[in-house]
Amino acid sequence: MSKLGVAIVGTGMIGEVHRRAAILAGAFVRGVSASSPERAREVALAWDVPRAYRDIEEVVADPQVQVVHVCTPNHLHRAMAQAALEAGKHVICEKPLATTLEDARALAALAASTGLAATVPFVYRYHPVVREARARIAQGELGPLRLIHGSYLQDWLMDPASNNWRVDPMLGGASRVFADIGSHWCDLVEWVTGERFAEVSAAFETVIAERGATASRSFAAPTTDGAMHAVSSEDVAAAMFKTAGGTLVSLTVSQVSAGRRNRLWFEIDGAKASVAFDQEDSERLWIGLPDQREEIFVRGPAAGSSEQRRLSVLPAGHAQGYGNCFDAFVADTYRAIQAERPEGLPTFDDGLRSALIVDRVIASARTRAWTSIG
């Protein structure tokens, strides 16, 4: 079978992650498109790929491209993903799927009408021990759920000199920290527990009111020309949800928490047991039991649920992490293109669900009222 031809649209930190995962999954990276034709040529050279596309029209006109990876700033997702789907290409579109609920709805409907593979990298689903937690909850090991809580904390925007397109609502969307990383947490916890968030009460704060002018890539050292600009997007957010089943959920999100690089953490407390997961310590699942007992489940190919074993590609003690999650997600997307149905593959429908939650979280933060999610 010939290799899948893919194009990467967008060359920031996450475009590079997609490129590596695509190659590892056996695809051929045909070319790249960037913020300008010059930048595309520069990256095509650095990546050693044949094509530097001028724009999305050139990408979708390439008959050797079957899959388009949309890795641009958020405001371009709708146009890029739509152009690709309309040209008959499969799409992996970064989250948030779109900056408005309306655009996310349009993309999900279009994807459904074409039957093409259309996925969104909610990649934290691909940690083996997250799959283990999900399997244990599905088997009833936790009993009825009593409380879900957690946080997703980063610090790469704690310096007022730091800036990035995500900070600008015109490019990133009306919510920053919640749409960027709170969206991951909500997708993950709904998927792991099988519970749907039904209503929300949220609050946003912009704790750094002015930021430097020069953009940095996420997690890169900031640079600034000295000028400062007013910021309106939120640095921190807190949200309480109630699930349709009546479970209370509490979430804290931040991009200004010193020392927290990418700490997605959740705990799910049931009547019989609890589980806790920490993305920065992702080889282990903590299991809390009655009578002051606790256990640690360690990731490995030899034990646990079938999905945990499937995704555990290295022996125990040989740490897997974020990169492996991304690789597994891209490989599963390509399997879906071959008409397989990999478990837990996040699709445009999940992207739409996430856009709905973000939309209602923004509404609640604005109105200061409990808001129905539906």
Sign of the torsion angle spanned by Cα atoms 185, 168, 20, 256: negative
Position 130 contacts ligand SOE (CB under 6 A):
no
Q: Are strands 197-205 and 371-372 parallel, antiparallel or unpaired?
A: antiparallel
The number of residues making up the chain comes to 374
Q: 210: part of which helix (H) or strand (E)? A: strand 210-212
Residue 255, helix vs strand vs coil = coil
Closest residue to ligand SOE: CB criterion: 218
Position 276 contacts ligand SOE (CB under 6 A):
no
Among the residue ranges 76-84, 168-176, 179-187, 360-368, the one whose residues contact ligand SOE (CB under 6 A): 179-187
Q: Which of residues 66 and 262 has its CB atom nearest to ligand SOE in the complex?
A: 262
- Kindly state the smallest distance separating residue 280's Cβ from ligand SOE, in Å: 12
- Kindly state the smallest distance separating residue 218's Cβ from ligand SOE, in Å: 4
Position 262 contacts ligand SOE (CB under 6 A):
yes
What totals of helices (H) and strands (E) does the chain contain, helices first? Answer: 12, 17
- Kindly state the smallest distance separating residue 262's Cβ from ligand SOE, in Å: 6
In contact, 94 and 236? CB cutoff 8 Å: no
Position 72 contacts ligand SOE (CB under 6 A):
no
Q: Which of residues 297 and 329 has its CB atom nearest to ligand SOE in the complex?
A: 329
Residue 10, helix vs strand vs coil = coil
Q: How many residues at the interface with ligand SOE, by CB under 6 A?
A: 7
- Kindly state the smallest distance separating residue 14's Cβ from ligand SOE, in Å: 6
Sign of the torsion angle spanned by Cα atoms 308, 310, 315, 320: negative
Position 120 contacts ligand SOE (CB under 6 A):
no
Q: Which residue in 11, 151, 216, 218 binds ligand SOE (CB under 6 A)?
A: 218
Give the ranges where 143-204 is alpha helix by DSSP (H): 169-172, 177, 183-193
Q: Which of residues 136-155 bind ligand SOE (CB under 6 A)?
A: 154
Position 163 contacts ligand SOE (CB under 6 A):
no
Burial 328-359 (b: 16+ CB within 10 A, else e): bbbbbbbebeeeeebebbbbbebbbbbbbbbb
Q: Which residue in 65, 70, 181, 365 binds ligand SOE (CB under 6 A)?
A: 181
Among the residue ranges 22-30, 38-46, 177-185, 304-312, the one whose residues contact ligand SOE (CB under 6 A): 177-185
Say how far apart CA 147 and CA 174 lie, in whole Å.
Answer: 29
Q: Which of residues 181 and 237 has its CB atom nearest to ligand SOE in the complex?
A: 181
In contact, 192 and 201? CB cutoff 8 Å: no
Binding site for ligand SOE (CB under 6 A): 14, 154, 180-181, 184, 218, 262
